[in-house]
Amino acid sequence: MLDEPPNEAEVRRIWEKKPALRAIYSDFHDRMTEALPDDGDWLAIGAGALCALEGLGARFHLDILDTAWIDEHGAHADRLPHEDGSLSGIAMLDVLQHPVEPGAFLTEAARVLRPGGRLVAIEPGITPLSWPVHRYLRGAPVEMSADPLHPTAGHHGPYDGNLAVPTLLFRREEHRIAFMDAVPDFAIRRRDWLGLMAYPLSGGFKEWGLMPEGLVAPLSRLEDRLMPWLGLWMAFRLLIVLEKRG
């Protein structure tokens, strides 16, 4: 079982209390905005009580949570309430580990995007360093032997899932090929490792934090320089960019 449903008021309090956390998500926003198309309507998925996609500029929001930040609460990400080809972009944060059938969800995402539209996602990345942190410190399921395109046993609720799904889909060759066969409307433009130590040291949405706000930007720049050598071994995140074929 993944983290329990967040208490909106508590998460908002921690968000307001931790400027370093807000700076980290601001960096996420910048990276996502840079990869999204310049015009048209965007859909943000995974906004919810986490406040994390606020300010991104999306016209629509979708999450399993019923909060003030959600325009289309109650919908499910594998049944998007949009017309074919009606969106230019989809921005997602920590979403791909949740759908019971990620392949079906990504097919649905491709349906609502116009040709040239992009899905941009920042998701958990599983590496030798991040795996024990997620598995033993968070108690989150990380099943690297799973088939990421098909249902996971015991995966029933909206907070169930497998943190390994994004890494399996986009960093394991056999699963990446299977994804391209299953969802041919998408071309993979980027699948980059992201984030070494800034987010773990921030404590995330926990009370504690070891990362001063002033160090977030320089540490992120240093991480970007080190990523070609250390990402495969130490990264905590993946930046994924999929483009709808014309």
* 3 is a domain residue: no
CB atoms within 10 A of CB 96: 28
**Domain around 237:** 8-244
What does the pLDDT read at residue 161? 78
pLDDT in tens, 39-51: 888 888 875 544 5
pLDDT at 123: 94
- For 105-125, b/e burial (b = at least 16 CB within 10 A) is bbbbbbbbbbeebbbbbbbbb
CB count within 10 Å of CB 178 equals 18
pLDDT at 223: 97
Query: What's the rounded Cα separation, in Å, for the pair 176 and 125?
Result: 15
> What global pTM score does this model have?
0.88
Q: What was the pLDDT predicted at 67?
A: 40
The reply to whether 213 falls in a domain is yes
What does 101-144 look like in DSSP terms, one character per residue?
Answer: -HHHHHHHHHHHEEEEEEEEEEEE---TTHHHIIIIIS-----T
Q: What is the pLDDT of residues 76-124, one digit of tens each?
A: 556 788 899 999 999 988 888 877 788 888 999 999 999 999 999 999 9
Mean pLDDT by 10 residues, the chain (246 residues): 60 88 90 91 70 61 48 55 93 83 91 97 96 87 90 55 93 96 98 95 90 95 97 97 97
In a domain, 2, yes or no: no
In a domain, 15, yes or no: yes
Contact 50, 92 (CB under 8 A): no
Q: Evaluate whether residue 1 is within a structural domain.
A: no
Contacts of 102 (CB under 8 A, 6+ apart): 96, 148, 149, 165, 169
Alpha helices in 1-113 (DSSP H): 8-17, 19-35, 102-112
| CATH number of 221's domain | 3.40.50.150
Residue with tokens 């995966």, as numbered in its chain: 155
| Domain presence at residue 139 | yes
Number of structural domains in the chain: 1
Residue 102: per-residue pLDDT: 87
Measured at the CA of 56, the angle between CA 53 and CA 61, to 5 degrees, comes to 60
pLDDT of 110: 97
**Angle (nearest 5°) at CA 72 between 21 and 17:** 20
At residue 210, φ and ψ (nearest 5 deg) are -115, 5
pLDDT value at position 176?
97
CB 64 within 8 A of CB 100: no
- Cβ–Cβ < 8 Å for 170, 176: yes
